[in-house]
Amino acid sequence: MTDPVAVAEELAPKLAARADAHDATGDFPAADVADLRGAGLLGLMVPERLGGLGAGFATYTRVAQALARGAGATALVFNMHASVTGALASVPEDLARQLGAGDAFFAQRDRLLAAAAQGALYGVGITERGAGSRLHALRTTYAREGEGYRLRGRKSTCSGAGHLDGYLVAAKAEHAVDDPDGPVSHFLVPAEAIGEVEDTWDVQGMRATASNGFALDCHVSAEALLGGIEGVAGLLAYGLPQWLVASYAAVYAGVARAAVDAGAAHVAERTVAGQEGGLGQVGWVRQRLGRADAQAEAARLTLEEAGRLVDHAPGEPATNAMIYRAKLLSGDAARDAADAVAEACGLAALRRGHPLERLVRDARSGPVMPPSSDLAADVLATARLGLDPVHGTDVRPW
Ligand SMILES: Cc1cc2nc3c(=O)[nH]c(=O)nc-3n(C[C@H](O)[C@H](O)[C@H](O)COP(=O)(O)OP(=O)(O)OC[C@H]3O[C@@H](n4cnc5c(N)ncnc54)[C@H](O)[C@@H]3O)c2cc1C
């Protein structure tokens, strides 16, 4: 059987070779995605019976880290696709049937997963201006229409928008849009049903993710409702947060490691006037590199433990705490390691074309992506203090 981590490690240098060009133009990394498709990685989370590799969460985190060491933006597009396919593949059938999901849902789920194994690419549209990714505050709505649903609204940020075959869209029940406790559901919307994509993504880092916005006013079939039951988005966010939280952690743990690697490569070959042996002879430069290495490894180990727990004890409080720790530590490690190492390397690392220059910008998104580092820390402390995770503080996480 193919080892997907080895496949990703083999692809990473190819992605790295294109990363600067993609970053400079902000173009969607089509050649990278074609490579992922060719290598079968779009089917990573798809069960083997449907033509995929049948990976678990821990394997996903290793694959995403390996890809991110090549190109963070491509790894982020991959992470969104893996989140959709991974969440779909891991729906516990008994529980879903108990909650009311019927045969039509399972048939549709299998079709979507089989299509991913054949190369279809999916993305996630949750974020809206004003609401961010706080599900309870979304203004995109769904309402029953005939046999299916009508979706209306506008999403501000969706990695890969305009290049996807399907969009996972989070929407709130129209009748309860002003109620913070109103039901929120996920729909898998086919590309043809999405309105015009706004080509507005021009940001500091992770430029090659094409994280554009789009408008929605479309009818979707009843099977587009993920899980086959309304109102599960909030339950998943609080109860099984791995895909919403720790999937990004894998990308930023990889970015943190890439920053250490790029710093070490620069330090090893850089000569300094009057300092025989080069930059590596300067004590504080080594210290910065050493601290960055420790931070990147602490993030990786926490993520590894989160992956192990997700695969063996999903939904347990200890698992969910490890998921939030992994996101917090990875986002911070990427930002801190890239900043510290780049500063130690001097002006060269600030010049366009140097890998660290891009990594510093890419890494800034780590603590911002949901849940932000501040929010992840708050969720951990809320649990530690025994407060209600939804209503127990002044900030409602999702
Ligand atoms: C590279 C990249 C790729 C992305 N890709 C996707 C994607 O594919 N799909 C997608 O859906 N989204 C995507 N996003 C968007 C991402 O999910 C959002 O950046 C995130 O949800 C935060 O939203 P925001 O940046 O608008 O911040 P805001 O929600 O505006 O928050 C800004 C700050 O204010 C705080 N804040 C504001 N209001 C409140 C409040 N009421 N309660 C508590 N705190 C508050 C926040 O904690 C934060 O510190 C991407 C973002 C990046 C950077």
H helix or E strand, kind and range, residue 288: helix 283-312
H helix or E strand, kind and range, residue 187: strand 184-190
Number of residues that this document lists for the chain? 398
Residue 77 CA to residue 80 CA, distance in Å, equals 5
The verdict on the CB of residue 157 being under 6 Å from ligand 1 is yes
Same fold across 123-230 and 240-384: no
Instruction: Give the position, in ligand 1's atom list, of the atom nearest the Cα of 80.
Output: 8
pTM recorded for the entire structure: 0.96
Q: How far is the CA of 361 from the centre of ligand 1 (A)?
A: 17
| C-alpha to C-alpha distances, 54 to 49, 184, 236, 319, nearest whole angstrom | 8, 28, 21, 21
* CATH level 3 topology of 123-230: Butyryl-CoA Dehydrogenase, subunit A; domain 2 (2.40.110)
The verdict on the CB of residue 370 being under 6 Å from ligand 1 is yes
Residue 232 CA to residue 101 CA, distance in Å, equals 12
Q: How far is the CA of 114 from the centre of ligand 1 (A)?
A: 31
- 178, burial (CB in 10 Å: exposed 0-12, middle 13-18, buried 19+): exposed
Residues whose CB falls within 8 Å of the CB of residue 354, separated by 6 or more in sequence, listed in order: 262, 266, 348
**Predicted confidence (pLDDT) per residue in 223-270, tens digit:** 999 888 899 899 889 999 999 999 999 999 999 999 999 999 999 988
Q: CATH number of 4-121: 3.40.50.720, 1.10.540.10, 1.10.1660.10, 3.40.190.10?
A: 1.10.540.10
The verdict on the CB of residue 159 being under 6 Å from ligand 1 is yes
CATH tag, 240-384: 1.20.140.10
- Residue with the smallest CA separation from ligand 1 atom 28 is 132
| Domain map (residue ranges) of the chain | 4-121, 123-230, 240-384
Q: Which of 74, 133, 157, 255 most suits a substitution to test ligand 1, by most atoms within 8 Å of the C-beta?
A: 157
> Which residue numbers in the chain have pLDDT < 70?
1
CB 370 within 8 A of CB 398: no
| Residue 152 identity (one-letter amino acid) | R
Q: How far is the CA of 109 from the centre of ligand 1 (A)?
A: 28
- Residue with the smallest CA separation from ligand 1 atom 16 is 369
